[in-house]
A = this chain, B = another copy of it.
Amino acid sequence: MVAGKGSQPDGAERRLQELGIKLPTPSTPFGTYAETVQTGNLLFFSGMLPVVDHKPKYIGRLGKELDVEAGRDAAYIAALNVLASAKEHLGSLDRVTRVVRLGVFIATSGDFFNQPRVADAVSDLFRDVFGIEKTSVRLVIGVASLPLGMPIELDVIFEVAD
């Protein structure tokens, strides 16, 4: 089998196409910071939020104003923003050699304990796009509040090829 235009046969770009996922326009910063920083083979991301067209798609806390399904959708949107920023930085998602770390911060009033199900929306997307062999470690943490009152913020590190 021959890979075309820099894409491996089983690469992330091809999987994205097969899954019918269209990446959003990459986020732009709300202040004096960068969406991505690469150091060596590590690509760090700013806290990725459920933002669409620079506006919050969801406002509220899990277990209070928002239910699990809303939380999962918010997490999925934030994860698409990770992929869009990665693609902008790298040119192609095929250059991602490993999802190193996934932190999922979830705004909650303190009595919501179904965080893993919300985080799975991200882990499952990354597995589908990059493959299970590139899966990350994961941290899930319920917090008091996130920027502009959004319910989800992702803390992600990728390993990338030169």
Interface of A with B (CB < 8 Å)? 29-37, 39-42, 44-47, 61, 98-103, 105, 107-113, 115-116, 119-120, 123-124, 127, 132, 135-149, 153, 155, 157, 159
Contacts and interface: CB of A to CB of B under 8 A. Distances in A.
A112 to B, nearest CB: 6
Minimum-distance CB pairs A-B, first 8: A142-B145, A47-B139, A33-B138, A46-B137, A110-B144, A32-B123, A39-B159, A142-B144
Interface centre among A39, A46, A109 (most CB of B within 10 A): A39
A123 B37 CA distance: 14
Contacts of A45: 137
A135 B159 CA distance: 20
B142 A98 contact: no
Contacts of A145: 108, 110-113, 115, 142
Nearest to A133: B34
A113 B39 contact: no
